[in-house]
Chain A
Amino acid sequence: MIRVEQLTKTYGPNRAVEGLNFHVDRGEVVGFLGPNGAGKSTTMRILCGALGATSGRATVDGHDVAERPGQVKRLIGYLPEVPPLYSEMVVRDFLSFAARLKGVASVGPSVEDVLARVGLSDVAGRLIGNLSKGYRQRVGIAQALVHRPAVLVLDEPTSGLDPAQRVEIRDLLRDLSAGDTTVILSTHVLAEVEAICSRAIVIHKGRIVSDDAMAARQAWQVRAIVARPDDALVARWLSLAGVWGVDDLGGGRFRIRAEGDVREVVAAAAAPSGLLELSREGSLEDVFLALTAEAA
């Protein structure tokens, strides 16, 4: 659906993005990870036609972003880092305006539909400038969704939201991807990537440092403390599917290295030895820090 080849963007002597290559299939939900200034927003803005690339190319559904921007923009719904809102407008009017800009055929029903989907029906008649940050963010998302785009590009969609709102947005994105929408989102919250993305691309200093997020998601370390440690316990753990290493840290404390979430089976196996504590240690966060530190 999205194909990016050797994409480079320089601002004077600064390279924001350098030789980016990746592709995203239809219906995938891809997370962009990286520290601030890594080039995530730049990449997204190029995909959405807000910015021209210095070299390289990007295509969306076969249309070149630079050569056929109109076609591409019709396919994409984009939420920038700062939601693009007119604070003097009423929510419903603003969404009607966005719908018309994007060439929606039946403006009224589309707007009502998106209001309901994003949970804005209650505030549809209010001025955007008077809304809380969470609602403003939702209006931003609604604006990106109003023309039912095949591709959704969201730059930090959950920043500034409270935990309950984050979960709502997360559920919304999950529904969308189930409905065959391709989603690219950037975030600082790694738990979010783990919760909704089928893949994560880690960008650092304008380059992709990792694009096999499955490994990142599956690199689990579980820390366990048991009352009566013995060799049989270690053997039981090692026989479990997915577990590929157990470190004895002494004093009944162990670190179990595994692929994927093995907490349940690890706990079951440890029960006879008197399991006291079981927690997840390290995760995507560690992988992320390791990757970005390595490349620094």
Chain B
Amino acid sequence: MKALTIARRELHAAFTGAVGWLVLVGFGFLAGVFFQWVFTAYAEASTELVFDPYAAQQLDLGDHLLAPFFGDLAIIVVLAGPALAMRLFSEEYRTRSFELLLTSPVTTGDIVLGKFLGALGFAALALAVTAVGPLSLFWFGDPDPGVLASGYLGLTLLFGAVLAMGMCASAWTENQIVALVTSFSAALALFILGMFGMDDPDAWLVQLAFTGHLDDLFVGRVGLSDVTYFVAFIGFFLFATAQRIESLRWR
């Protein structure tokens, strides 16, 4: 209950000042560009395949248009997540407003969960803006709504993971730039690692990375292990953040 109060304030704070709006505009713009790319590529492919009905049958809106679109958006999520998360705690330490949360009758869990949900709420809005292109497909085609749903589930989970990690970094320092660089490096590493080990999908490094866990979600396969991976990832960083906040009282 108190967590929602905190989440609401976070969400509200994201929209005072230009940053929140800029991020939304940025998401909308980039999503538009990406959609244009994948759409053009898809259109070209289908024109080329006019005389090859067998191959044309293999062409699928989900696999060949939405999946690459989601893949492009994932990069933006990894880039934007740390920037959205960096101020969550650092800013409050710097302005000393954190004292209000520390001395109000709220638990550390409420604080951490509230901040996370607030940031995730904003992330959801940013993702909603990107859905304009994919939704327009319904107008002149019949994309699989399941693929759309599972793709956005994947992006939301990825956003949550990056935000949780960024929030944890933010809880450690009152310097937002330090929080940004730390969580951004880690997020990028986790994103790229998976690309190196493509030939051996069972390597633990690949298992640890985001990338491999997104592929299935982006083509409409919701696997328990992938969802569990993200939920556990988020849970771990929420826990680590709570531990850090708790330790502040015992310095």
User: Is A97 an interface residue when CB atoms closer than 8 A count as contact?
Assistant: yes
Among B104, B106, B249, B250, chain A packs the most CB atoms within 10 A around the CB of: B104
By a CB distance below 8 angstroms, the chain A residues around B17 are 88
Nearest Cβ in chain A — how far from B99, in angstroms? 4
A89 to B102 CA separation, bound complex (whole angstroms) = 19
Cβ-defined contact, B100 with A84, below 8 A: yes
By a CB distance below 8 angstroms, the chain B residues around A76 are 103
By a CB distance below 8 angstroms, the chain B residues around A103 are 2, 105
Chain B residue with the shortest CB-CB distance to A9 = B251
Cβ-defined contact, A97 with B5, below 8 A: yes
- Per-residue CB contact flags for chain A residues 73-84 toward chain B (1 = under 8 Å, else 0) read 110101010101
Cβ-defined contact, B99 with A84, below 8 A: yes
Contact of A100 with B249 at beta-carbon distance under 8 Å, contacts A70-B107, A74-B105, A84-B99 already known: no
Nearest Cβ in chain A — how far from B87, in angstroms? 11
- Per-residue CB contact flags for chain B residues 92-136 toward chain A (1 = under 8 Å, else 0) read 000111111111111100000000000000000000000000000
Nearest Cβ in chain B — how far from A127, in angstroms? 8
Cβ-defined contact, B102 with A101, below 8 A: no
By a CB distance below 8 angstroms, the chain A residues around B5 are 97, 100-101
A-B interface contact total, Cβ < 8 Å: 69
Chain B residue with the shortest CB-CB distance to A44 = B103
Cβ-defined contact, B96 with A89, below 8 A: no
Cβ-defined contact, A101 with B16, below 8 A: no
A276 to B5 CA separation, bound complex (whole angstroms) = 65
User: Is B137 an interface residue when CB atoms closer than 8 A count as contact?
Assistant: no
By a CB distance below 8 angstroms, the chain A residues around B100 are 84, 98, 101, 143
User: Is A22 an interface residue when CB atoms closer than 8 A count as contact?
Assistant: no
By a CB distance below 8 angstroms, the chain B residues around A84 are 96-100
Nearest Cβ in chain A — how far from B22, in angstroms? 15
User: Is B13 an interface residue when CB atoms closer than 8 A count as contact?
Assistant: yes
Main secondary structure of the interface of B (DSSP, over half): helix
Nearest Cβ in chain A — how far from B101, in angstroms? 7
A94 to B106 CA separation, bound complex (whole angstroms) = 16
User: Is B9 an interface residue when CB atoms closer than 8 A count as contact?
Assistant: yes
Cβ-defined contact, A80 with B99, below 8 A: yes
Within 8 A of B (CB), among A218-264: none
Nearest Cβ in chain B — how far from A107, in angstroms? 10
Cβ-defined contact, A70 with B13, below 8 A: no
Cβ-defined contact, A89 with B16, below 8 A: yes
Nearest Cβ in chain B — how far from A134, in angstroms? 18
| Segment touching B, from A45-53, A177-185, A201-209, A288-296 | A45-53
Contact of B104 among A11, A51, A52, A102 (CB under 8 A): A102
Identify 23 residue pairs between A and B in the complex whose beta-carbon atoms are under 8 Å apart, listed by A's number.
Answer: A49-B102, A49-B103, A49-B249, A52-B249, A71-B105, A74-B105, A78-B99, A80-B96, A84-B96, A85-B97, A86-B9, A86-B13, A86-B97, A88-B16, A89-B9, A89-B12, A89-B16, A93-B12, A98-B100, A98-B104, A100-B2, A101-B106, A103-B2
B interface residues, Cβ below 8 angstroms from A: 2, 5-6, 9, 12-13, 16-17, 95-107, 249-251
